[in-house]
Amino acid sequence: MKNSNSAFKGSDRVINKSVAVPRSLKLIGLPFFLIGTIIALVGLNMFNTWYKSKSWPKVPAKIVSAEIASHRGSKGGSTYSLKGSFKYDYEGRSYTGQQFEIESGSSSAYDEKRAMLDTLQAAIAEDKLLEAFVNPEDPSEAFIFRHISMGMVLFVSIGGLFSIVGLFILTGVIPIGNVASIDDALLQKQPKEPWLADSRWQGFNLKTNNWKKLGSQWGISIVMAVFISFFVYVMFTDKSAPFFAKAIVGLFTVISVGLLAHSVYLTLQYFKFRESALLLSQMPLCGGCEFMAVLAVEERFASGQEFCFELVCERRLVTGSGKNSHTTTDVLHKSSYQASAGSECFRNRRIYIPVKMQIPEDFVPNTDVTANPSITWKLLASASVPGVDFAAEFSLPVYEAEPELVKYRS
């Protein structure tokens, strides 16, 4: 064993358990999804108006009054909106408009509002007519400024982000990967064997679920790409779009391209190595014991290939709630092991790599997924090969157990 590093000494063995149920936690995503969708739809409706108004007729309009209204937020911040009116005629009828721009609400973009107000007040002072865009289907709808405002961009970007996050929480994509569940009835029946009630460990063979991670990654990437493509189109068709809007769209575009590139990499990795398995010698793994395991992978390696293994124990603590929540992850233990694939490891188109590692005596056992803080033991396997590298991760059942409860592979 090499590069061993443990931080268990003096650790408290008592772990406070949460009463939350993992599946019910997914419902947290519902308000995120609903509120985000509503906000995004409001923003998309404004962009739809902006797009359609390109072909609306323009008529002379007389500005009657204009001012900036300030709105004080509950947390002390201020937002601003344009207030006033203008008169215009369309097809022989007179109308009075009160919306100077497509964005009907208020925003924190004071400089943007100030620039429009200067134009309106100059028109009043000089008794000058401005052009108004009139909706031919509803002539009572008209505005003076046809542009993409910061509020429009923020409505869609923030609303879309909330909606996507909510959807991923509801579908279990966040956290990405397997969401373990606990069989409460079995846990109550066999409280001294909690590993039996955890869905992560059903028998001696642990398997990766790379296809789930791959599906999650592609789902995120595609939704992000579709989401940002609309704004890329808008930026290319409207050369007058402000710089800040182009900067935001550019940033999201870079992120979207990065996600797609990572999805392609994971896809190549999946089709090259498929799923892997870790065959444990005993269940569970206990402190102070040297456990044996075998990594079973697709035959995509040459004889003598070097494999690296890392045994890691992480402590995850969540403090605060809501916007004030903070998650801290500490590595309590980390040790490494290396093994080579000899000719005897190749059987039935698979490679079987023996692994031998030590669980420290002063260890902290696993907790279930609802604990806070939570303890997770995992084994990371990797190998550098031409093209896409191999990588696999397995959650390990490390517990305190009476000797008679430990089962060994026959």
Task: Name every residue whose Cβ is closer than 8 Å to that of residue 134 and which is 6 or more positions away in sequence.
Answer: 56, 57, 58, 59, 88, 90, 95, 141, 142
Q: What is the pLDDT of residue 18?
A: 33
**390 phi and psi angles, rounded to 5 deg:** -90, 140
Q: What pLDDT does residue 125 have?
A: 93
User: What is the pLDDT, as a whole number, of residue 123?
Assistant: 94
For residue 296, list its beta bridge partners.
Answer: 277, 352
CATH of domain 1-21+275-410: 2.60.40.640
- Whether 184 and 43 have beta carbons less than 8 Å apart is answered as no
| pTM of the full structure | 0.61
The pLDDT score that the predictor gives to residue 135 is 95
**Separation between Cα atoms, residue 165 and residue 178, nearest integer Å:** 17
Question: What does the alpha-carbon distance between residue 84 and residue 99 come to, in Å, rounded to a whole number?
Answer: 8
Per-residue burial over 352-361, b if 16 or more Cβ lie within 10 Å, else e, is: bbebebebbe
The pLDDT value given to residue 324: 67
Q: Which of 3, 15, 10 is nearest to 365 (CA)?
A: 15
What is the distance between the alpha carbons of residues 318 and 369, in angstroms, rounded to a whole number? Answer: 12
Per-run averaged pLDDT (10 residues), the chain, 410 residues: 44 34 52 83 88 93 92 68 93 93 80 90 94 94 88 82 74 50 80 85 86 80 77 68 74 86 92 92 89 91 93 89 74 93 88 92 82 90 94 92 88
Distance CA 154, CA 19 (A): 37
